[in-house]
Amino acid sequence: MPYSSPVLGTMDSPDHIQPIEIAVTYRFAQQHGWVVTAITGFLSAYFMEDARFRYCRQIHDLESGAHLWLCEVGVAMPVPRLVKRLQADLPPSQVCLRPAAEGVPARYLLDLPEVSAAQSEAG
C-alpha cells in the first residue's frame, strides 16, 4: 500500500519530508501491554522537542497483531537517535530496520530481544 502524506503547513516543502514507520510486534505488545500507550504518548510529544518530526496516525494491523505509527520527519533528522530515545523508556527490545524503498517508508520494528543460546541453557 503506497504511503500518501497528509497535507502539512508547518514543515518545509514536501521534498524535505520523508515518511517513516515505527512499529512493535504482537509479542512485544502482548508481553508489555502498556507500551502501545507509552509509544503513542512519546511520539505525540516528540514534536515539541524536534520540529522536524510529526506523528500522523496509529494503525493496529489485525492480521499480524503489530501496532504501527506513521510519522513524517525532515530528511536530515537522525531517526535512529529518536528510536534510541524511545527504547530508553521501554522494556529491553531489539530494533529491526526495513530500509525505505520506492513508495514504502522505512520501518523501525521493535521486538522482544533474542535470547542467546547461553542464556537459554542457563535458564
Which residue do the cell numbers 502482548 mark?
30
What residue spans define the domains of the chain? 16-92+99-105
Residue 118 confidence class, pLDDT cut points 50, 70, 90: very low
36 bridge partner residues: none
Q: What integer pLDDT is reported at residue 16 of this predicted model?
A: 86
Q: What is the pLDDT of residues 35-72, one digit of tens each?
A: 999 999 999 999 899 999 999 999 999 999 999 999 99
Top-level CATH class of 16-92+99-105?
A: alpha beta
Task: Indicate the pTM of the whole model.
Answer: 0.81
Compute the distance between CA of residue 111 and CA of residue 59 in angstroms, rounded to an integer. Answer: 17
Helix (H) or strand (E) holding 46: helix 35-46
Which residue do the cell numbers 524511545 mark?
86
Q: What integer pLDDT is reported at residue 122 of this predicted model?
A: 54
